[in-house]
Each structure stands twice: as structure tokens, then as C-alpha cells.
Structure 1
Amino acid sequence: MVVLNPNNWHWVDKNTLPWSKDYLNGKLTSLSTVSSDGKSKIELTQVSSITGDSNVSQRKGKPICYFDLQLSMNVKVTNLDTNKDDEDDDGILADGKLEIPEFMHDESDIPILSQGFDAFDGLVRSEFVPKVVETLLKYQDDLIKEHSKDIQV
């Protein structure tokens, strides 16, 4: 038997973008919260786009990951207050997008841009965006845990 990579010393790469898309779609589309005043609900309805790179590698026997992703998400704010008339027929108060232009492996400060929320932008940023960030910060640990066991050759 010929050993081409003894003790996994040389680089071994695994493209994890397909897994990352499934993971982020599953984790993010289940996010919702009720505003602190109890008058509205904010929920992520769709991850409309995930692009970029995501890899788990092994070098000198140690698993490492690196990713640089761009995400676009649709979010809606719905009315829970039955006495308010600022809504359309479906109870939707605002329908907008959250954009993450750069979600990288070596940064915990994630820039998130919002558009289309009008008067509810502050509410989305203060009460919903932290939940998105909390979910995204779990991604790297889960990525390594899921893929480091099968990266060895």
C-alpha cells in the first residue's frame, strides 16, 4: 500500500458550499421574533441568495475552515396589534431585505445592510438583526464539526 499523504500532513481541501447553503437556509429561515412591545412579528421568509466560497481543509493534521460568503434574505414585519390600520390586507407592515456583503471566517463583526423597512428599520435592526448574527456566529463551529471528520484521507 502506498501512502500519498502520511499522517494527513499535506493540504486536503473539501468544498463545503453546497452544505453551507443547506445549513444556512435551514437555520435562517426558521428565525422569527416578536417585538418587545408585542405589536409586531419579524420573520425571515427566504434566503434568496448565498454566493461565495466555503471550504474545510486539513494541513499538518489540523482541520481549518475558510469562507467568504454573501447573503441576501427577505424579511417581513407583520402586525400583531388588531387595533392598528397601518397594514396591507395580509397584516404586513413592512417587507424588506437584509444583505450581508461579506461574511468571513476571521471576523465576528458582520456588516448587515437593510432596505425596504421604512419606519420599521430601527425595529428590525435592534430586535431581529442580533438573532441573525447569533445564528451566523454558530456556522463556523458547526462547519468544522460536520466536515473535519471526513476530510482525512
Structure 2
Amino acid sequence: MVVHNPNNWHWVDKNCIEWARQYMRSKLVGLSSNEKTGKHAEIASVSAVEGDCEVSQRKGKVISLFDLKVVMMLKGFVGEEPFEGSITVPEVAFDSQPDDYQFEISIYKETAQLSEVKPVIRSELIPKLRDVFSGFAHDLLVTHGDDIQVPESQVQSQFTRANQKSLSQGGATKSEPKSIAKSSTATATSSSGAAGPQSVANSSSTAPKYNTTTLHLEPTFNVPAIELYNTFLDKQRIMAWSRSHLICASSSPRIEKGDEFTLFGGNVTSKLEQCEPGKKLVFAWRLNEWQSGHFSVMTMNLHESKDYHETKLQVTWSGVPVGEEDKVRGNFEEYYIRSIKITFGFGAVL
């Protein structure tokens, strides 16, 4: 990027959230415990990196400001029994210490046998994750610090030049993964993100596009998976938990694949894109206030644990406009999750 900032005096910042997502994928995927115990866990993918990540400078000083939520998908086995799950780290921040990181471990379709892998995850995998998160701030500055400053040779101010020199002397040699290129990041003060879904309802190549992000939620319901599945498709049930009239062109008592419908007085439009009874639902979803043609994609995977008589709803929600994350998450937790539990008694409500 080109910086016009005489003597590196003024405030300049660079949005690095997309680089942070690539960094986490590069560093985290593949980390694993050993297999000697018969209990093995491995990071299969990074499902979501939400939050803010910037590198800024003023008066020659470069700082990083970030506050991220990271969700990783797990896979592994206990003996002959395979499993899937997730690890959620609610906060990876610029002022976090290694002991500050909290790790929420979830095993899908958990059984008494599969629960035995959790101590292995805590003792062997979590320390490796702490190391990655602890090194993030350093790598972020080393990779992007030069991009927001003019070269030291062009700085006349002794004050800012001293600040800039102290940073370069304190920094380490760059060692970023080859797969993470600077060209993939946004320019100063701009937002990064995917362009949004292309194949969902009413979207087209001419529709306005947002910078977007991905959300990840994992509510638990005390009900068989097929009952929860039906709760999202049966029209009478939907009107009960949404406490609103459902408008749909189809006269079927259930939402069928391809059906588009509105809820909450027309504030939410949704379309069922995929369905697999008791296992998976995919909806195109938009708020009425979003620009015309833009839909997010809400993917729900249902994981039923017969041992624990509960169903974990793994929600991966892509295409959410940047800046709308808190509103979308809050509305879903209040008007979907909490309302379903209250209406049908599918679990404790906090």
C-alpha cells in the first residue's frame, strides 16, 4: 500500500482481519495430540474468526489492536470410535496473556467413551493453541508494520525516527507462512471480507455486495434431533416460536426445499436451500434493511447425543455484513434459540 504521511506523524491504520483469518488457518489446522494413548484430537479447520484486527501508527510508533473470537473444528477418535467437535476461544486480544485464553471444548454426539478425549485435548492440544495465539501479535506487527509507515530514510523528524528505529530493532526477522501474502489484505482504513453468497435467492452479479464475515454458534437443546429439525420447518411450530405470521407462497403445512418465506412482520426473509432430515438445514437469510439482493447463508448441522439426551445445533453463518454481527447474533439467540426453548421446553433458558 502507498502511505502519504510526512515524518510518520499522523494516525494511519490498516485493517488486517482477512490476513488474521488466513493466519489462523495456516497456523492452527493440523495441530494435534499424539496417537499413542488411543485417544487422538486434531484441528480439522477454522470455522470462524470474528472481531477486529488492525495495525496502526502515529508519531512513528506502530501498535496492533485486535480482539478476535476463534472457532476451530475438531476431529479424532477414541479407540475405534471417531468424533467431531469444536474448540471456541471467545477472546484473543492485543492485551491477552497466555493464561488469559479460555477454551470451550465441545464434542458432538458425545458419549461416555468420547468424553475421555477431553483431558487429552486439554493437556496436549491446548498448549499448542496457546503458543499460536501468543505469537499472533508479534507476527502481525512484523508483517504489516512497514506497510503503514514511510521508509526511515524519508523521515526528517528525529522524534518519530527514533520511535520507528526502536520498533525495527525490537522486531524479529519476518517468518510468515508462505501461504499468507500481504497482497491479500485490505488497504488502510478499509474493511476486508468475502463478497457474500452468489448462489442464494435473488442474488446476482449486479446486486450490491457487502464486506462479510462468518458467525459460529452452538446452542444445545434437550430434544431429539428430528424434533428440533421439524421445529424449523413445520409452519405451525414456526409461527408459535416466532410469535409472528409466516408468509409463504406454498400451501404445504411444512417449509419445503426452495420455499421462500418471511417472518417477524417482514423483517426477515428466508429460503430453504438444503435439508437432510434430522441432520442438516441450509437457509438463505436476510434482514429487510440489508441492500436488495444480499443474502447470508445459515447452515445448521444437528448432532444428537443419545447418551446425554440432547442435540447440539452447530450453526455456521456466512455472508453476514461486517458491522451487523452483533445484531444478527443477538436476534438469533433471542428470537430463535431462546424463544424455541421457552415455547417448547427444549432446554434451560438463562
Q: CA deviation at 1:50?
A: 0.7
Q: Distance in 2 between matches of 1:112 and 1:32?
A: 15
2:33 aligned counterpart, secondary structure: strand
- Aligned residue type for 2:86: K
2:147 aligns to what?
A: 150
- Aligned residue type for 1:141: H
Q: CA deviation at 1:147?
A: 0.2
1:119 aligns to what?
A: 116
Q: Distance in 2 between matches of 1:56 and 1:95?
A: 35
1:41 aligns to what?
A: 40
RMSD of equivalent CA atoms: 1.7
Q: Distance in 1 between matches of 2:104 and 2:140?
A: 25
Match of 1:100 among 85, 89, 92: 89
1:32 aligns to what?
A: 32
Q: Distance in 1 between matches of 2:124 and 2:5?
A: 49
Count of residue pairs brought into register by the alignment? 139
2:61 aligns to what?
A: 62
Q: What are the Cα deviations for residues 15-54 of structure 1, in whole angstroms up to 9, with x where unaligned? A: 000111111111111312305x442332100100111000
Q: Distance in 2 between matches of 1:30 and 1:149?
A: 30
Q: Distance in 2 between matches of 1:30 and 1:68?
A: 24
Q: What are the Cα deviations for residues 33-91 of structure 1, in whole angstroms up to 9, with x where unaligned? A: 305x4423321001001110000000110110010001111112235xxxx4x51xxxx
2:223 aligns to what?
A: none
Q: CA deviation at 1:106?
A: 0.3
Q: Distance in 2 between matches of 1:63 and 1:16?
A: 14
TM-score by length of 2: 0.38
Q: Distance in 2 between matches of 1:114 and 1:134?
A: 18
- Structure 1 residue 138 and structure 2 residue 129: aligned? no
Structure with more relative contact order (C-alpha pairs < 8 Å, separation 6 or more): 1
Q: Distance in 1 between matches of 2:74 and 2:131?
A: 17
Q: Hey, which of these two has a bigger chunk of strand by percent?
A: 1
Greater shift in the superposed pair: 139-148 or 68-77: 68-77
TM-score by length of 1: 0.83
1:33 aligned counterpart, secondary structure: coil
Q: CA deviation at 1:119?
A: 2.3
- Aligned residue type for 2:19: W
2:96 aligned counterpart, secondary structure: coil
2:101 aligns to what?
A: 110
Q: Distance in 2 between matches of 1:56 and 1:30?
A: 28
Q: Distance in 2 between matches of 1:78 and 1:135?
A: 24
Mind listing any 5+ residue stretches in structure 1 that lack a counterpart?
none
Mind listing any 5+ residue stretches in structure 2 that lack a counterpart?
108-113, 151-350
Percent identity over the alignment?
38
Q: CA deviation at 1:123?
A: 1.3
